[in-house]
Structure formats: C-alpha cells, structure tokens
Chains A and B, each alone.
Chain A
Amino acid sequence: MTRKLQKETDITFHIRRYNPDVDDKPHWQKFIVHVEPGMTVLDGLHQIRETQDASLSMRYSCRMGVCGSCGMLLNGRPALACNTQIFDIASKALTVASLPNFDIVKDLVPDLTPLFSKHISTYPYIVRDDADEMLNPTGEFFQSPDELTEYLQFTYCIKCGLCMAACPTMATDPNYLGPQPLAQSYRYTKDTRDDGFNLRKKVVGGSHGAFRCHYAGECSNVCPKGVDPARAIQLMKRELVLDYLKLRKHRTKSAILGKPEGVKRRPEIPEAPCFTKE
C-alpha cells in the first residue's frame, strides 16, 4: 500500500466509554489528539491516557501485532490498535470502540471469555489413543513438509477475537462457535499426528457449528495474521460432508520415528534437561 505523506495534525478521537461502576450503558467521549506520522491508534490512546484522561481503560501488551490483546473497533472495523496507523484510516476524526459481539468489561476492554471457552470445546490439541507415547515419548512423529503446509497457515492464529467481532453470524447467534474455534478445529483435524476428528466433529458438525457459516468472509478480511478462517471453515465443512457420506479417506496417524542411530552428539550441545512436570 502506498502511504500518503502526512503532516502532523489534530485528530478527534471519538471513544466509546463504559464504566461498570457508574454507567448503565456506553456513551461517546471526544478527545483531540495531536497526531504525528507513524503514530498508531494505540499510541494515540496512550497519549490520551497520559495527557487527558488516565481513567481510559484498554488492553494491550506487545505493541507489535503479536500478542493479540489490543483488538478494537476502529472506524467501524475490527483491527489491532497497535497494528493500525492513524493516518491510514483517519484524516480528521476516528471512532474507537470495544470489539462487538463480546460483552464490555470497561471502556475498550472486551470480555473474551466466550472465545476461549468455545476454542477449548473444539479439542484444539493433538488427540491420540496412544496416551503412553504422548506422556513418555520414544521418538518424534513423522510429518512431511507437504503435510505441514496443509495446516500451517491456521497455526498463526493469535486469538485476538477480531474474526469473532467481524462475523455477522456471531452477531445474531451467540452460541455459534465462530471463526476462530472452527479454524482451529480444522487446523488440528488436518494435522497428520492427530486422530481426533471423530471427537471434534460432534462439536463442529452441530447446529451451532461450521454449517452456520455462510461465507461473509469478514473473518478473513480482518485477520491481522492472514490466517484465513473462512477457508478453514469451508474445508472443515468438506471434511464433515465427506465423513457423512462415508467418503472421507481414512488416514493413518503419523508413524513414530525412533531416536536417530549411529549419530554422535556434538560435544558443545548439552543433553536436554529432565522433565520438570510429571
């Protein structure tokens, strides 16, 4: 994207405030922020906190689009505040609100609990029946680079909740699993080390599962990491349909590779530390 050269100027931040101790419903408050080129929305919010109103609440951590804490509704579109240049989306005024489809804890802080509970419900981990091998591994599970590519894109999810806020189905069906959990269910389903599809399909194939998605595509448009949950959901639907028609190919779990033999450890590499957790 070609970024226009911008001069420093004043921009009006319209922020949707809500204090559970005194407010019954959210209200808008206006702040004038002196913006310089290169400033992100998070920088602007920090400036407000430091110079105008220290009570403004927001959630943030890394400031570099990695942790996924600062998801907000910026000019009507979910985005990471730390990842959005003010001049990219505003020249005079900017609206900032808490992520929709999540209850507001305070000001710009959404309650992401539903995201995490739905995420957990889809078994987002490797499921295998050889529990002994999982607890006391004897070697690595084999996986080819092509097999890795089949799900790698979906592993970049940072659980920021932007996709859930952008999804129009989430807006009218709070029980819908949503893009993030469904994408992660596909991520583990396609992992050749995993054998948990039969467990997972009971959740994602249900009435509030993958088939509630009608491909508005907003989850993929707003994803700050290019995860493309819309693609994962459609591919998950294909797996579910093929399984229903009994056409889904049975996949053998990844074989366990033994420890390499006939190889000498280089003297400068120490032994791995012992388990710290039983």
Chain B
Amino acid sequence: MLQDKRCPNSIGVWGWLGGGRWGLERYLYTLHRLTGLGILLYFILHILVTSSRVFSEKAWETWMGVFSSPVFKIGEFLVYVAFAYHAINGIRLILIELGFSVGKAEEPIYPYKSSLNVQRPLMIVSIIVAAVLIAAGGYDFFALAH
C-alpha cells in the first residue's frame, strides 16, 4: 500500500529563495539566477520597444517618453547592477567550473574544510570588483546625469 502513495516534497523555487541556515555561496547562486532572469526580461522588453520604430515614428517617441521617467531611470540602473553582478560572478563561476580555485582532493579531517573555503578569496575579490563597478555606474547614472 505504501508504495502506491508518495507525497511529493520538492521545494521548487523556494529552494532558491528560502535560504534558512545556508552558506553565502547559496545566496550568490540565487542572486545569479535572479539577475540572469532580470537581464533576460530586460532584453525581451528592449527588443519589443526598439521594434516599435518599425511601426511609426510616433510609436517610437511615445515609448521613449515613457522610458524617460525617473522610475525607468532607476530601473535602468537596476539592470546595470544586475549586469555588473552577473558578469563578475559569472567569471568567478567559469574559473571554478574549469577547476581553478577549488583545490585538490584531500583527506577529509574533522572539522571538514571544503572547496568553498579554497575559493572564498576569489569570491570576496569578485564581490568587491562588482561593488566597485556598481558604485562607478551609480555615479555615472545619477551624479553625472544631465
């Protein structure tokens, strides 16, 4: 009887978001996915909006008028933030996926240390670089904006 009825227990997208007592790299993983989806959404909107020029000049100017509002200025900056984080963290992930900065297999001795400890300096550097890029972008977006 038991074999006939199982209760599904997959945590789905909550598995990305519901961190709980998790490590830092999991939050970076979640942020990487969310920023990736955000950039994809922006890309689709970008194609749709720029394609409006095909229909008429007026349609183009109407859309440009909508996007010149301060709300979309902030939105544009958020896209830049997502891009900066996704790009820098992506480089970190590529390096890790090519086997750099994860160390070699070693005898596990308690308290265990894993490849996460080995790659942490790379992670910290990549976060700092992303933060610098975001700060510089913010200065360009808001302080130098006309």
A and B are interacting partners: yes
- B-binding residues in A (CB < 8 A): 1, 18, 20-21, 23, 25-26, 75-77, 98-106, 110-111, 149-154, 156, 166-168, 170-172, 174, 190, 211, 214-218, 220-221, 223, 225-228, 230-232, 234-235, 237-238, 241
| Separation of A227 and B33 alpha carbons in the complex (Å) | 26
Chain B residue with Cβ nearest A240: B97
Chain A residue with Cβ nearest B111: A1
| Separation of A150 and B103 alpha carbons in the complex (Å) | 11
Q: A18-B7, A237-B98 given as contacts; is B20 within 8 A of A231 (CB)? A: no
| B102 within 8 Å of A (CB atoms) | yes
- A-binding residues in B (CB < 8 A): 1-2, 4-16, 18, 20-23, 25-26, 28-30, 32-33, 93, 96-99, 102-112, 114-116
| Interchain CB contact under 8 A, B102 and A234 | yes
| Separation of A219 and B65 alpha carbons in the complex (Å) | 49
Residue numbers in B under 8 Å from A230 (CB-CB): 102, 114-116
| Separation of A127 and B5 alpha carbons in the complex (Å) | 37
| Separation of A234 and B99 alpha carbons in the complex (Å) | 6
Residue numbers in B under 8 Å from A104 (CB-CB): 6-7, 9
Of residues B1, B21, B97, B111, which shows the largest number of chain A Cβ atoms within 10 Å of its Cβ?
Answer: B97
Closest-CB distance, A23 to chain B (whole angstroms): 8
Taking A150-B104, A218-B25 as given, write out 10 further A-B residue pairs in contact, using a Cβ cutoff of 8 Å, ordered by the A residue number. A20-B1, A154-B105, A214-B33, A217-B114, A221-B114, A225-B108, A226-B110, A231-B103, A234-B97, A237-B97
